[in-house]
């Protein structure tokens, strides 16, 4: 039976330093060399994921930005892109202005990802920007207004703020029929910082996982995760494993609970069970 193992990154495969442990790296490479099919599904973009995963010889396309993109690391090309409609983009920008929210708007054109922002007016936005510039050499483009950018290739919006400030916008955005939302707490800070991510209704970890299953003729999917944005991935999988540090809402949906991300739970499970 041909099986694909799909793991989330942050809080699942990565440790508290946002890195892969030496054990996880060596275990995954060993399993892949022995014929195990492994990939990842994350909210991150290729800019940070390729750097994070550079020591692992992943050959299966990876799922990025909660399913918006499917990216092939060896060829450095996007195999599947789910964009937002122009009408939805206009409505999203209008709602962000109404709630005085800033964030990041993403575009993929000719296999190049561009990230736009209007203002880094909160600590959370500035830290997000600075980490990706300094650690992953990611490029950001400042514009005075998101409406200045051609909407043709816009795929994603990412906001980060307190739950209270984002929640009213989340409720309003939920009424837009052709978008999906991911709303979850930042696991790397004790502050009340939440992510609100906006993307096409066709772009979920569920749809992306099912695309890989169909395109590469897998009989079975096994998923690993920790946060609310992994719920769609779990719905696509035949077996699901929540790390010990996962949110309770995800644990309820899991086949079982495995060791935490800090204890290399995913790598240990694959090593013990995949072959």
Per-residue pLDDT tens digits for 204-227: 999 999 999 999 999 999 999 999
Q: Is the pLDDT of residue 95 over 90?
A: yes
Among candidate residues 183, 200, 217, the one where a domain is terminated? 200
- Which pLDDT does position 11 carry in this prediction? 96
The enclosing domain of 145 has a CATH number of: 3.30.1240.10
| Segments forming the whole domain that contains residue 221 | 3-81+204-273
- Which pLDDT does position 190 carry in this prediction? 79
Among candidate residues 200, 223, 240, the one where a domain is terminated? 200
- Which pLDDT does position 93 carry in this prediction? 98
DSSP string, 94-121: HHHHHTT--EEEEEEETTEEEEEES---
Q: For residue range 33-89, what is the model confidence (pLDDT) as tens digits? A: 999 999 999 999 998 999 999 999 999 999 999 999 999 999 999 999 999 999 999
- Same-domain status, 110 and 42: no
- Same-domain status, 129 and 192: yes
- Which pLDDT does position 199 carry in this prediction? 96
Compute the CA torsion angle 93, 98, 102, 104 (nearest 10 deg): -20
Over residues 233-247, mean pLDDT: 97
- Same-domain status, 188 and 214: no
Specify which residues 112 forms β-bridges with: 109
- Same-domain status, 174 and 251: no
Average pLDDT, the chain: 96
What's the rounded Cα separation, in Å, for the pair 237 and 4?
A: 9
Q: Is the pLDDT of residue 191 over 90?
A: no
Q: For residue range 103-155, what is the model confidence (pLDDT) as tens digits? A: 999 999 998 999 999 999 999 999 999 999 999 989 899 999 999 999 999 99
Cβ-based neighbour number of residue 145 at 10 Å: 10
């Amino acid at each position: 039976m041909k099986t694909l193992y799909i793991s989330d990154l942050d809080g699942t495969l990565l440790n508290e330093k946002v890195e892969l442990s030496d054990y996880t790296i060596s275990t995954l490479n060993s399993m892949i060399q022995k014929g195990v099919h492994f990939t990842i599904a994350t909210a991150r973009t290729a800019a940070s994921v390729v750097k994070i995963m550079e020591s692992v010889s992943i050959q299966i396309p990876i799922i990025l930005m909660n399913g918006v993109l499917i990216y092939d690391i060896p060829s450095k090309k996007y195999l599947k892109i789910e964009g937002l409609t122009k009408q939805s983009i206009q409505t999203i920008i209008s709602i962000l202005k109404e709630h005085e929210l800033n964030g990041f708007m993403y575009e993929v054109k000719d296999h190049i990802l561009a990230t736009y922002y209007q203002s880094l007016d909160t600590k959370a936005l500035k830290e997000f920007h600075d980490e990706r510039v300094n650690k992953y050499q990611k490029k950001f483009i400042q514009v005075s207004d998101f409406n200045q950018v051609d909407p043709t290739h816009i795929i994603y919006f990412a906001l980060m703020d307190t739950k209270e400030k984002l929640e009213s916008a989340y409720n309003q955005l939920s009424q837009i029929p052709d978008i999906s939302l991911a709303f979850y707490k930042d696991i790397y800070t004790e502050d009340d910082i939440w992510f609100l991510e906006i993307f096409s209704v066709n772009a979920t970890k569920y749809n992306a996982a099912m695309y890989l299953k169909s395109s590469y003729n897998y009989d079975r999917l096994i998923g690993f995760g920790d946060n609310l944005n992994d719920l769609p991935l779990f719905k696509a999988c035949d077996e699901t494993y929540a790390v010990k540090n996962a949110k309770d809402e995800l644990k309820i949906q899991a086949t079982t609970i495995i060791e935490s991300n800090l204890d290399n739970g995913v790598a240990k499970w694959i090593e013990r069970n995949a072959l």
